[in-house]
C-alpha cells in the first residue's frame, strides 16, 4: 500500500521495512516531532475548565 508522507507528501510504501512509516525519512519524522514539541499541533478539548485538569497533589478524591 502507498501513502503520502504527512510532512512532504512524497508517496511512500507502507511496509515493515520502512522504519519511518508513515514518513518517508528520518528527516520528515523529526520535522513532525519538532512541530509537536513547538506546540504547532494541538488536540482540541471541548468544554474544559481548570477544574477538569488533574494537577496532581491530593489524590484522596480519586478512586483506584
The CATH number of whichever domain residue 36 belongs to comes to 3.30.50.10
**Does 30 fall in a domain?**
yes
What pLDDT score does 10 carry?
95
**Does 61 fall in a domain?**
no
Contact 26, 20 (CB under 8 A): yes
**Nearest 5°: phi and psi at 11?**
-75, 130
Supply the pTM of this predicted model: 0.60
Neighbour count for residue 35 (Cβ, 10 Å)? 13
What pLDDT score does 49 carry?
73
What pLDDT score does 55 carry?
67
Q: Which residues of the chain have pLDDT under 50?
A: none
Give the chain's domain count: 1
The residue segments making up the domain with residue 20 are: 2-42
**Does 59 fall in a domain?**
no
What pLDDT score does 64 carry?
52
Amino acid at each position: 500500500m502507498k501513502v503520502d508522507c504527512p510532512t512532504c507528501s512524497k508517496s511512500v510504501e507502507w511496509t515493515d521495512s520502512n522504519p519511518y512509516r508513515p514518513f518517508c525519512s528520518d528527516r520528515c519524522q523529526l520535522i513532525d516531532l519538532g512541530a509537536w514539541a513547538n506546540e504547532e499541533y494541538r488536540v482540541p478539548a471541548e468544554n474544559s475548565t481548570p477544574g477538569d485538569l488533574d494537577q496532581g497533589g491530593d489524590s484522596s478524591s480519586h478512586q483506584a
